[in-house]
Amino acid sequence: MAAGKENKVMSAAQAVGMIRDGDTVAIQGMGTQMSPLALVREIIKARKRNLIAAMIVGGIGLDWLIAAGCVKKVMAIIVNLDEFGMANAFRRAVEAGELMMEEYTEHQMLTRFSAGCYGLPFMTTQSGIGSAIVDLHPDTTKVIDCPFTGQKVIACRALTPDVCILHAHRADEVGNVQFFPKPIWGDVDVFPRASKKVIVTVEEIVSTDEIRRTPERTGLPYFKVDAVVPVKYGAHPCSLFPRYNFDRQVMERYAAESRTPEGTQAFLEKYVRAPRTQEDYLDLVGGSTMEARIQSFWS
């Protein structure tokens, strides 16, 4: 089913209304890069429950969602804060038996999403042969024989999340979404195409005529996009290459405060729940000081 060609610009709160409790949500982002964190904060404020988070790399946003009690299961290849260390809420929740971690190799996970993109029941990889990872989930990865050569391959069952959330550079009102450069990382590439609904936050809304000037930068056509939400610094404290870097100061603060459950909740209260708007949030993390801090190495 294709999305229509209508004005899809809405607020983050409206967009998050598309997510139902129990949904499987594909969340774009690496440890410190290109994650839709303004939407993540909105999901926490909306008190969504029992979500299944599907990611490649679970980072700070996933840890917030877990700490806020929104997530019952994670599907990913790694969950951490990159050089800032462990994702402590994740770690504590799994160790306490409160959160299920369904771990895959990277290419298994990407292949599950790719099959989802094609509407195929499964696609193949050889990644994970010899690893115990393939035995963790017999319902979604299974070693089968090639019908031509007899070689072992792993069938990876299609994953079609209910909703994908992502952050991009810009879009027009109907949802033609542009990236600079075009999607390189696997999550940006397959997450939205595999998902039933797609919510995109963007740094700016531009006209369709402006999009037509650089069609090579469009990564998602309007017919695959359900909501467009303008959010300046929508990935903060993660980076949006090449526009801004991740915010080392905020990442370090969270890494330190999340060492205890109390510190984690205090951080969530202050940085996620208290700010009423994205502007409040940006002021809280330093306003123009923050802007100077995350100035791109590329600019």
Partner 1 sequence: MSKLSEDYTIDELMVVTLARQFTDADIMLNGTVSYIPVSAFMLARETHAPKLTWVAGAVGVDADPGYIVGNTLDPTMWKDCVMYLPQISDMWGYVHSNTLETFCIRGAQIDKYGNVNNSVIGKDYHRPKVRLPGSAGMGDMCSLHKKIYIWSTTHNPRTFVDKVDFLAAPGYLDGGDARAKLGLRNGPEVVVTDLCVMDFEPTSKRMRLKSVHRGVSAKQVQDETGFELVTPDHVLETPAPSVEEIELLRKKIDPKNMRKIEFRGSKTKV
Residue 34 Ramachandran class (φ > 0 left, ψ -120 to 50 alpha, else beta): left
Report the distance separating Cα 6 and Cα 258, nearest Å: 42
Q: Which is nearer to its own copies, 141 or 239 (CB)?
A: 141
The nearer residue to its own copies, 219 or 237, going by C-beta atoms, is: 219
When binding is defined by CB under 8 A, the residue of 83, 204, 269, 283 that contacts partner 1 is 83
Site for partner 1 in 202-221 (CB under 8 A): 208, 211-212, 215-216, 218-219, 221
148 scored as a contact of partner 1 (CB under 8 A) = no
Among the listed residues 7, 14, 50, 124, the single contact to its own copies using CB under 8 A: 124
Alpha-helix residue ranges (DSSP H) falling in the chain? 12-16, 37-45, 60-67, 88-95, 106-118, 186-194, 208-212, 248-257, 261-267, 278-284, 287-293
Per CB under 8 A, does 100 bind partner 1? Answer: yes
Q: Tokens in use for 145? A: 């024989």
202 binds, among partner 1, its own copies, none (CB under 5 to 8 A by kind): none
Contact letters (x/-) for its own copies, 140-179, by CB under 8 A? x-x-x-xxxx-x-x-x-x----------------------
Q: Which is nearer to its own copies, 9 or 143 (CB)?
A: 143
Can you tell me which residue has the tokens 């700070």?
60
What residues between 41 and 100 interact with its own copies by CB under 8 A?
none
CA distance 63 to 53: 11
State the Cα–Cα distance between residues 200 and 39, nearest whole angstrom. 9
The span from the CA of 89 to the CA of 261, in Å, is 7
| Least CB distance to its own copies at residue 184 (A) | 9
Name the minimum Å distance from CB 196 to its own copies. 18
